[in-house]
Structure 1
Amino acid sequence: MSRQFVVFMAIAVTLGAIAVPIPLQNESIVYRIPVTGEIELGLAPYIQRTVQEAAEVGAAALILDIDTPGGRVDAAETISDALTDSEVPVYALVNRRAYSAGALIALSTSRIYMRPGSVIGAATPVDGTGTKAPEKIVSAMRSQMRALAESHGLEPEVAAAMVDEDIEIDGIVEKGKLLTLTTEEAVAIGYAEEIEDLDALLRELGQESARVVTPDLNWAERLVRFFSSSLVSPFLLSLGFLGLLAEIRTPSFGLAGAVGITCLALFFGSNMIVGLAGLEDVLIVGAGLVLLGIEAFIVPGFGLFGVAGIVAILTGLYMSLLGNIPTMPDFTRAAWVLTTSALLLICSAWVLVRTLPSSSRLAESGIFLLARTASAIGYESAEVRSDLVGKSGTAITDLRPAGTALIGDERIDVVSESEWISAGTPVRVLSAEGYRHIVRSIAEQQEVEEA
């Protein structure tokens, strides 16, 4: 183990220790997690890490500061699981709005507090056009909301009515209307308590002197969000496959292959961390690459293996962009990423083929085939049989003008100088140019010499 590696590990451990707040003696710590804006998959790892960190430092409480219009249901489910399993008491502070997935997250906490003028509810899953999601997704969301309410001693039908407009509750919501509760309404039915702000909530919890910690995204979470974004993913995919294609043209593994594998690893790794891709998606893409390899190196031509490989790769990539509970925006995003990746790959490959071979350094490297392969610069299509020149033999087949002749004891592929030489005609080799052995009938040659 090198000294530099030991120093690097020591620095990393030290920085990691500094990043986690260490409570002083008799000091209380409360973690605050902002849940603002749209809930997306990149938020889930951040909350999971913060919940674990709060437990490790012995935090007194964990407060979710919620102001969200909703977002991805699968991301909210992942967050809900982390909150439900938390060893630290978790409280929700609805700071203006907790719609849709935000309501699911709020119900995952031990108690809900709402600032005056806030709202919670309207949790029906919808697609990007506002259309209600299929019943399968709605049913799953409805059951989960009901189960969370039951686990915290709340009326489950109220939670279900936030998802399903067909549920009617006397004095609360009519049939055909989706339930959304204001602060006063939520307090009236025992679903929440009204609180002025975060400081008031800390006093309510008996933590007015606690140190409030709001963790930032760490570098890994920022990178995951960056690499899994709709703008970066197409570049990773196109560079990944472009690198693999370039590697096929090289005699040994090199930079192109390393770049390709790295880009694909970043794509699948980031998507797996945020919950979009699964191992099965990676296996499907891998199977597609294997099928293409069989088509390219084992089976001649382009047929079943090639088509199956392309279909498998596209299917695996598309699935790796959808997540567990995809809605219409997810399908649109997946189509956008794949289409953009394909266009980038085609354009990049065209540019490489058109421009890079003109580079003398790349041409000499052998990565690209030179435009000229003349014998003057060392290229030969086959061994030149100059020893055959002047020898005589017999045409075994008709030469029309190509055919076969027996020269000495060898069967040689030959081409007649004239248009036609019948089988059995004595011939003589005039010249040898790689695979081309030019012959003339001996009788014709004698006539030429006599003339």
Structure 2
Amino acid sequence: MCASEPRLRCVGSMPRCSSGISSSSACPVPPSCCDVAGPATRRVSCSLTRRSCPRRSRRTPPWVPWGSSRRTKERDPPGPWWPLRSGGRRDTVGSRAASGMRLPRRPWMTAQGSRLAVGLMVTATALSWLVRPLVAGQASDRPAVHVAEVDALIQPASAEFIKQTLNRADAADAALVVLVLRTPGGLVDSTRDINTSIIEAQTPVVVYVGPSGARAASAGFLITIAADVAAMAPGTHIGAAHPVSGTGEAMDDTAAEKAASDVAAYARSLATQRRRNVALAEQAVTNSESFTEVEALESEPPLIDLVADDLDSLLEALDGRAVTRWDGSTQILRTAGAPIEHIEMNWRQRLLSAIAHPQIAVLLFSLGTLGLTIELWTPGAVLPGVAGGLCLLLAFFAFQIMPINYVGLLLVVFGLVLLILEMVTAAFGVLAAGGVISMIFGLAMLIDSPAPELQLGWPFILSTMLALAAIVGFLARLSLRAQRRRPVTGTAGMIDESGEVLDDVGPGGGGRVSTHGEIWSAIAPEPIPRGTRVRVVAIDGMTLTVSPERPAVADPAQGVHI
């Protein structure tokens, strides 16, 4: 405790009590108690009376100001001032402010404030959970518009996705289904399955060819004219629905005429039932004609129903529109303000759609063939065989969908065989060069379709061939190195091994030799004394034929010989 009216001594900038207080337990006081203008040794009176000295913790080291390299007693203590009155009570804020002391720093939140904040957060969370079903119920009062995007070949995976979308919309009592279609074509059977699902759907179906720059060719054209509402974006086109062989090979005149007549009749029936231009629908099949959005809309009767810039403008144009279904009934569309639900393919459908691409199919076929070759070359590796089998099966699935030219496929297979032979034989690159050339010609004619999306392209062909050539070259180098490596096991591994005679060896036998970490019976064409270094020249059962090692002889003219 500091005495009343203590005498202070200013030491540096830190005033301390000087009345019976040792320098080691000096009582820190505010700077206002010291006349800093006077001499450092001048004694002044403290403005505070009966002030208690705060007890310093033993664990707290003496205060070291920021930037100081050592502790000193002539520095101001840190922290806010907490002056106490006699009796241990805290002084008022006004008295501390009047004395020039800094106000204490209070915690940013008390325990009571923390409990209040937690209570508010819990209440807000509970209200959000209670209000969410109400909002969802209000939103579900309006039937939703289901939007599904098809940007792939028309194949079994695409047909399954569209069928699931329509069934989901019927189960949810949706207001409308919009199929955003971009496709170069596909299988006729998958196209018929999709159109059957559209015709039998309880929900009206709109096929929208978009965005700008897209097209719905071949199978996409038949799907477009089969919809309840056919719409296109500016800068798109449809048509070119002439059938081709599934293998890409040219059909004879009779088969081609039959296929074209069948698809043309199917297109006429769809156009007639949907009240579209039957003549243009037939020309798209028989003459492979294509039509822009303006030509399709301005024809008489029109081939499509409307042109819309995007999905929002399409839904706005469809609101209040009367749609005639396949069975002749009329339904009014209500799309203004309807919630939009986007339907996505599942992982299996996305995988199959990605595989049904010419470039992916060629890569899978090449990698599958190499994987099986490596498995046959090194039995027991397991992984190359399993991966190769999976790749080949997926490649065959893709080839089933695309128009494949079998002549090009055979050239690709022949090239792969030559590359495999290069890996197992030392042909010095001749077989590899022939394989690469064969595969280049095969890939160039593999896909027989005018659609740009189905073409492989020279950049892909050349880059693929370079990668395969690099892989085959690396494996061929490993094979050649393994063939040239000296045997280390068996009879061949014992030949030319070095050893040491343990017992005298002669033509009659009876000697023993230590070689290859083992002791063998040995014979020699000449007597060899014990301790002589020998080499194995032949092996007959469990007996070695050895000969002495010849020391190296230096010849100034010829060099060193053994």
Structure 1-normalised TM-score? 0.50
Structure 1 residues 186-335: aligned runs within 5 Å = 186=299, 188-189=300-301, 191-194=303-306, 197-204=314-321, 205-252=333-380, 254-269=382-397, 275-276=401-402, 327-328=449-450, 333=456
Pick 1 or 2: higher relative contact order, CA cutoff 8 A, min separation 6.
1
Distance in 1 (alpha carbons) for counterparts of 2:209 and 2:376? 56
Structure 1 residues 118-157: aligned runs within 5 Å = 122-125=239-242, 135-136=256-257, 138-154=260-276, 156-157=278-279
The answer to whether the Cα contact below 8 Å between 1:98 and 1:120 also exists between their aligned partners in 2 is yes
Distance in 1 (alpha carbons) for counterparts of 2:170 and 2:456? 36
Return closer, same or farther for 1:345/1:250 CA change in 2, 3 Å cut-off: same
Deviation at 1:351, TM superposition (A): 0.6
2:220 aligned with 1:107: no
Deviation at 1:109, TM superposition (A): 0.9
From 278, 286, 295, the counterpart of 1:182: 295
Q: Any gaps of 5 or more consecutive residues in structure 1? A: 1-20, 167-176, 297-309, 359-367, 392-416, 418-430, 438-451
From 130, 155, 169, the counterpart of 1:54: 169
Q: Which amino acid aligns with 1:103?
A: F
Q: For 1:126-146, what per-residue CA distance to the aligned partner results, in whole angstroms no more than 9, with x for missing partners?
A: 99xxxx998546445423321
Q: Which amino acid aligns with 1:252?
A: G
Return closer, same or farther for 1:214/1:263 CA change in 2, 3 Å cut-off: same
Q: For 1:322-345, what per-residue CA distance to the aligned partner results, in whole angstroms no more than 9, with x for missing partners?
A: 6xxx52559854999899777655
Distance in 2 (alpha carbons) for counterparts of 1:390 and 1:266? 69
Distance in 1 (alpha carbons) for counterparts of 2:377 and 2:138? 58
From 144, 151, 155, the counterpart of 1:29: 144
Deviation at 1:245, TM superposition (A): 1.6
Return closer, same or farther for 1:238/1:123 CA change in 2, 3 Å cut-off: closer
Deviation at 1:201, TM superposition (A): 0.9
Name the counterpart of 2:61: none
Q: Which amino acid aligns with 1:104?
A: L
Name the counterpart of 1:78: 190
Return closer, same or farther for 1:231/1:35 CA change in 2, 3 Å cut-off: closer
Q: SS state of the match for residue 206, structure 1?
A: coil
Distance in 2 (alpha carbons) for counterparts of 1:357 and 1:104? 57
Number of residue-to-residue matches in the alignment: 308
Name the counterpart of 1:372: 486
From 152, 157, 160, the counterpart of 2:282: 160
Return closer, same or farther for 1:33/1:23 CA change in 2, 3 Å cut-off: farther
The answer to whether the Cα contact below 8 Å between 2:371 and 2:387 also exists between their aligned partners in 1 is yes
Name the counterpart of 2:204: 89
Q: Any gaps of 5 or more consecutive residues in structure 2? A: 1-135, 245-249, 308-312, 322-332, 422-434, 496-506, 510-524, 526-536, 544-562
Return closer, same or farther for 1:211/1:258 CA change in 2, 3 Å cut-off: same
Q: For 1:169-199, what per-residue CA distance to the aligned partner results, in whole angstroms no more than 9, with x for missing partners?
A: xxxxxxxx8776636524x526544476322
Return closer, same or farther for 1:106/1:227 CA change in 2, 3 Å cut-off: closer
2:473 aligned with 1:350: yes
Distance in 2 (alpha carbons) for counterparts of 1:262 and 1:60? 42
The answer to whether the Cα contact below 8 Å between 1:237 and 1:341 also exists between their aligned partners in 2 is no
Q: SS state of the match for residue 82, structure 1?
A: helix
Deviation at 1:246, TM superposition (A): 1.8
From 167, 178, 187, the counterpart of 1:63: 178
Q: SS state of the match for residue 143, structure 1?
A: helix
Q: SS state of the match for residue 214, structure 1?
A: strand
Q: Which amino acid aligns with 1:354?
A: R
Distance in 1 (alpha carbons) for counterparts of 2:461 and 2:508? 63
Return closer, same or farther for 1:48/1:243 CA change in 2, 3 Å cut-off: same
The answer to whether the Cα contact below 8 Å between 2:175 and 2:204 also exists between their aligned partners in 1 is yes
Deviation at 1:348, TM superposition (A): 1.9
Judging by fraction of residues, say which structure has more helix. 1
Distance in 2 (alpha carbons) for counterparts of 1:236 and 1:46? 24
The answer to whether the Cα contact below 8 Å between 2:180 and 2:207 also exists between their aligned partners in 1 is yes
Distance in 1 (alpha carbons) for counterparts of 2:190 and 2:275? 22
Q: Which amino acid aligns with 1:159?
A: A
The answer to whether the Cα contact below 8 Å between 1:98 and 1:106 also exists between their aligned partners in 2 is no
Structure 2-normalised TM-score? 0.42
The answer to whether the Cα contact below 8 Å between 1:28 and 1:59 also exists between their aligned partners in 2 is yes
The answer to whether the Cα contact below 8 Å between 2:209 and 2:216 also exists between their aligned partners in 1 is no
Distance in 1 (alpha carbons) for counterparts of 2:368 and 2:215? 40
Return closer, same or farther for 1:253/1:193 CA change in 2, 3 Å cut-off: closer
Name the counterpart of 1:401: none
Distance in 2 (alpha carbons) for counterparts of 1:78 and 1:23? 39
Return closer, same or farther for 1:262/1:340 CA change in 2, 3 Å cut-off: farther
Return closer, same or farther for 1:108/1:262 CA change in 2, 3 Å cut-off: same
The answer to whether the Cα contact below 8 Å between 2:357 and 2:398 also exists between their aligned partners in 1 is no
Deviation at 1:432, TM superposition (A): 5.8
Return closer, same or farther for 1:378/1:93 CA change in 2, 3 Å cut-off: closer
Distance in 2 (alpha carbons) for counterparts of 1:94 and 1:237? 33
Q: SS state of the match for residue 372, structure 1?
A: coil
Identity level (%): 20
